[in-house]
A and B are shown apart, each in its own frame.
Chain A
């Protein structure tokens, strides 16, 4: 659609004018890391972030989400979608959002995700500082960058804002932004064209080869070795932008007959994930950590490829950094398997 120019010193007032319209969720510093959070003070905005602890999907799919409340046998939905701008989403996370969009709408439309997703306006941004564990430059390359409404690219003296949907146009229509010049547009195109070159880690294997080799290693003993130090802590699942599993629980409230149903992010590495009730007792169909560890890699490299058009990994590197035992990095694990 159209390209606009925002001078460096105009970024904060741009964000401010969005905040005047609706809540803006954007990267801000937290300790040594960054998180997506609702901007209170525009000075907190950090478009130079490397990556966030949790991925931006949390805006539509919160880590813990009340689904319904019940009382006297009557249930009421807790859905209450609030329009928001999600600002500063990196390309790998945009790709991941397009995956969860698909996963939450195919077969069964998950209204608890979709309702929040539909009212969000996503403004992407190019990676200014790559995360040290990231390998987005060499995975999910065939996947089209879609799902966002606009995209901010940092150029030498400011930003080029590409607006790609009507929702995006509507949001910025009355902000009086200047059109980007031909030079500014081409500078931005140049920045994005070589963005992947700066990505610190490379995965030197084709997705098809990886998928085949990983599947064929299903019975290999390599999984015992790779998962030896695993805590079953699920951190690798919980920080992943393409993971979409959750657990649902009902809970009584303090009244005589009231309560609520909520869901919480869950992950296949935790042992209770694969526990099912069987005739009054329970059964765990992935009892040991090697099976669970293997399952995650099957999911990330093979099982979902046909459905998503790419492996269910966008190379953000979050899992690699989150795993205290440092055994969750797909690059290391895939390389080990390819070389086995």
Chain B
């Protein structure tokens, strides 16, 4: 197999997903046998204007000015992969989507909030600007899933199987005791699986960092959060805003 040319690009994000890559162990190093990294700001100075086999795009699309750069990546890339929650779903950036721009700018930047480059639009997945072929979800993206998906892509698989069911499936498969049975709450029933349900296994609720499943039953989730999770109606309603604002029925 010829080496596959890969490049990483970042938009509105904390770059945590790129950092997460540098934390990789053995499977990633093995992957490097098949991959040539041509641009990756977190680990090298070089950049490229050449064609790329796989472009990993991190961060959400939150400024119209970014569209041209996204389009140029799309033109040069064989496969575009949304890399992490911000790129795949808008991620945590979409938290501001239901707020007024002056409000959130003031809240985050205080006295500097009037600087013009801080003007943004709603935080959207990059698929709002360009065609995206695949997504590696999660905040940060899941390393195991990264290796699994990229391995299939470098073998030429065009449609990589990824689950469409909720996190509860993976949670049950590893026989974790449900957070609700421990008197806690959890967004697992509406969260998109693929991560292997590490959070409930560690004794913390799933926050749906990967976004929601396609047919998420949001009404039922609010009911369960109140009846079994002990939340107030308001808290139950707002609970799913952190990572999944763009999925909500009120988005």
Contact = CB atoms under 8 A, between A and B. Distances in A.
A30 B169 CA distance: 19
A215 interface: no
A58 B172 CA distance: 12
Interface string A62-78: 01100000000000000
A238 B173 contact: yes
Chain A interface residue bracket vs B: 35 or more
Contacts of B173: 63-64, 238, 264-265
A30 B175 CA distance: 9
B216 to A, nearest CB: 8
Nearest to B180: A324
B50 interface: no
A333 interface: no
Contacts of A254: 27, 30-31, 33-34, 147, 151
Interface string A217-233: 00000000000111111
B182 A32 contact: yes
A231 B217 contact: yes
A96 B38 CA distance: 56
A49 to B, nearest CB: 13
- In this complex, which of A249, A252, A253 has the most chain B Cβ atoms within 10 angstroms of its Cβ? A252
Interface stretch (B97-105, B129-137, B220-228, B242-250): B220-228
Given A54-B175, A254-B151, A272 B215 contact: no
Q: Which 4 A-B pairs have the closest CB atoms?
A: A31-B177, A233-B168, A231-B189, A229-B220
Given A235-B172, A271-B165, A324-B178, 18 more contacts: A31-B181, A31-B182, A32-B181, A53-B172, A53-B175, A54-B175, A229-B219, A229-B224, A231-B190, A233-B166, A234-B165, A238-B169, A238-B173, A252-B152, A254-B34, A254-B147, A267-B169, A289-B217
Interface of A: 30-33, 35, 53-54, 58, 63-64, 228-235, 238-239, 249, 251-254, 256, 264-265, 267, 270-272, 289, 321-322, 324-325
